Structure 1
Amino acid sequence: MHPIYTPTSHLSESHSSKIHLSKSYELTEAGDRYFDGLAEKFSRSLYQAPRGELRLAMLDYLLPQMLHLEAQPVLDVGGGLGQLAAWLAERGHAVTMAEPSQDMLTHASAWHAERGAAGTLLSDQLCYLAAPLQALPQQAPGPWPLITCHAVLEWLGEPRLAMQILASLLAPGGQLSLMVFNRDALRFSNVVKGNLQKALSDQLAGKGKRQRLTPISPVTHDEICQWGADNGLIMEGVAGVRVFQDYLRQPPEKESDQAALLALEKQYCRQDPHWRLGRYLLYTFTKPEADV
């Protein structure tokens, strides 16, 4: 099994120093949040921390179960730092990675190039597209047999419209791997932390300002189910990612405890009711072969 790696642990100082870090943290005209200037923060906060490591380990575990992976071409929407694109390329897929943030795209392509030079990745199986999700019908129309869109919808002003666009890009019989930040888990986490009034008033969304990484549009399972059905997609499976970790009073320090936590996450990530409180919800949708 090819693990999903943490990019910055492999990115050289020379490449890192070439990444332009702008300070544009405002929302776009469409109400979306891009991450120019935040590639390093993303890597430190999300992927070099235990929560990020567990998220990647769970994707490594779940994606082969939830997708029919047959080395088909993939459109990776909002590919971020490039972990998923690299994982797919290592499995023989030709990957088009679309990402609106030039900083993130530069970071990902530099890391992929280093992995290619080291012989661990066929970098010629990756191509890059500096484009937001809304531009993909013009710039990458497909239709695509496999689309991955992980942790993107919650950073958009109109996540429902994004689901419509993703469905339009899928080929008949194609698969969509969708991962979203779970609004219900965000509420529960705020209660656990003692933010009772915030949870009671349901003021959970972030503002998209400065360097804060609270999603501006966290979504619910019911919303995703409805949006999929509205666009003629069939939900084939769902799993919770980080079902337990975010609610621990003390993060595990010993390797044996970390292994036990991972085993628990794997055991219950698809079992009701536990998956419903995953920090992220991971879905597989398919597009019917013909209209029904």
Structure 2
Amino acid sequence: MTDSTPLSSAGDRHFDGLAEKFAGSLYGGPRGELRLALLDDLLPRLLDLDGQPLLDVGGGLGQLSAWFARRGHPVTLLEPAGDMLDQAREALDGLPVSFVQAPLQALLDHAPGPWQLIACHAVLEWLSDPRAAFATLAEGLAPGGQLSLMVFNRDALRMSNVVKGNLQKALDDRLEGTGKRQRLTPISPLSHAQVVAWSRECGLSIRGVAGIRVFHDYLRQPPASEDDWQRLVALERRYCQAEPHWRLGRYLLYTLTKDEPTNEERAP
């Protein structure tokens, strides 16, 4: 049987033909609800927002683009999957959003900027070379610009496998997905240490970091009542930036800023 979700020629995970599954698995249900609720709380605190234009890289179905557009930001949504882009156009009709069908790697050709504000949420972990993609994002930023980056946390994936009893898999560090069939385990989960190292390489500074879903994904049973759900949300909000809890968030959310050039670098 032919694999319906092949990797691209570059080895990246494609989502063509998976818009409905993507919406259900990543945004439908409590996991997606909690993720969006935490972003709603964190983004205004982690970013300096004044209505500046936003480039939403790998914007998918447009949830993040909608969040910024409704707060007065003109948005350019860059997304390679045509069916996801079609759904985003429909969902964001009437909002100040323009659409570009292109992968992250082509950002500098299709939306070169430089941009004062870029968002790239849950994208790098689906790429075969996330380090090069990170460098592309940094290149697209203007000096002093902000990058809102969210990545799938490798350490959290290891912890999740241990909780599920996949002990040998955790010992062998076989955590990546294959990118085949319809499983949605990322092919390149990232560690905080990698983001720190790549930021230094690219002249970016980490101004803030938070964990998204630091407790939820390890629960043995889902919340049994609305009151329990609200208690869980309160716990997630209280500890998402607290040591050591943020480090085991299923996702890690960063604000990175591009360093201003020094006087020596400005000199001709």
Matches of residues 177-256 of structure 1 in structure 2 within 5 Å? 177-256=148-227
**Cα distance in 1 for residues equivalent to 2:250 and 2:49:** 25
Q: Which residue of 2 aligns with 1:87?
A: 67
**Cα distance in 2 for residues equivalent to 1:38 and 1:173:** 36
Report SS of the residue matched to 2:150: strand
Answer yes or no: is 1:271 the counterpart of 2:251. no
**Cα distance in 2 for residues equivalent to 1:103 and 1:202:** 34
Matches of residues 1-292 of structure 1 in structure 2 within 5 Å? 24-113=4-93, 116=94, 123=95, 125-291=96-262
**Cα distance in 1 for residues equivalent to 2:162 and 2:188:** 19
Q: Is the CA contact (8 Å cut-off) linking 1:74 and 1:93 kept in structure 2?
A: yes
Q: How far apart are 1:196 and its partner, in Å?
A: 0.6
**Cα distance in 1 for residues equivalent to 2:76 and 2:103:** 13
Amino acid of the residue matched to residue 47 of structure 1? Y
Gaps of 5+ in 1: 1-22, 117-122
Amino acid of the residue matched to residue 228 of structure 1? S
Q: How far apart are 1:289 and its partner, in Å?
A: 2.2
Normalising by structure 1, we get a TM-score of 0.88
Q: How far apart are 1:257 and its partner, in Å?
A: 0.5
Q: Is the CA contact (8 Å cut-off) linking 1:237 and 1:283 kept in structure 2?
A: yes
Report SS of the residue matched to 1:178: strand
Indicate the RMSD between aligned Cα atoms, in angstroms. Answer: 1.0
Amino acid of the residue matched to residue 55 of structure 2? L
Gaps of 5+ in 2: none
Q: Is the CA contact (8 Å cut-off) linking 1:150 and 1:179 kept in structure 2?
A: yes
Report SS of the residue matched to 1:188: helix
Write out per-residue CA displacement over residues 101-135 of structure 1, whole angstroms, 9 at most, x where no aligned residue. Answer: 0011111111112xx3xxxxxx2x10000000011
Amino acid of the residue matched to residue 54 of structure 1? L
**Cα distance in 2 for residues equivalent to 1:289 and 1:92:** 26
**Cα distance in 2 for residues equivalent to 1:174 and 1:40:** 34
Count the aligned residue pairs: 261
Q: How far apart are 1:242 and its partner, in Å?
A: 0.1
**Cα distance in 1 for residues equivalent to 2:98 and 2:190:** 30
Report SS of the residue matched to 1:96: strand
Q: How far apart are 1:162 and its partner, in Å?
A: 0.6
Q: How far apart are 1:253 and its partner, in Å?
A: 2.9
Q: Which residue of 2 aligns with 1:19?
A: none
Q: Is the CA contact (8 Å cut-off) linking 1:172 and 1:290 kept in structure 2?
A: yes
Amino acid of the residue matched to residue 106 of structure 1? D
Q: Is the CA contact (8 Å cut-off) linking 1:146 and 1:170 kept in structure 2?
A: yes
Q: Is the CA contact (8 Å cut-off) linking 1:24 and 1:36 kept in structure 2?
A: no
**Cα distance in 1 for residues equivalent to 2:4 and 2:118:** 28
**Cα distance in 1 for residues equivalent to 2:157 and 2:28:** 21
**Cα distance in 2 for residues equivalent to 1:24 and 1:87:** 31
Report SS of the residue matched to 1:148: strand
Report SS of the residue matched to 1:282: strand
Report SS of the residue matched to 2:207: strand
**Cα distance in 2 for residues equivalent to 1:207 and 1:49:** 25
Amino acid of the residue matched to residue 88 of structure 1? F
Write out per-residue CA displacement over residues 201-229 of structure 1, whole angstroms, 9 at most, x where no aligned residue. Answer: 00000000011100000010000110011
Q: How far apart are 1:246 and its partner, in Å?
A: 0.3
Aligned-pair identity (%): 65
Poorly superposed stretches of 4+, deviation over 2 Å: none
Report SS of the residue matched to 1:147: strand
Q: How far apart are 1:55 and its partner, in Å?
A: 0.5
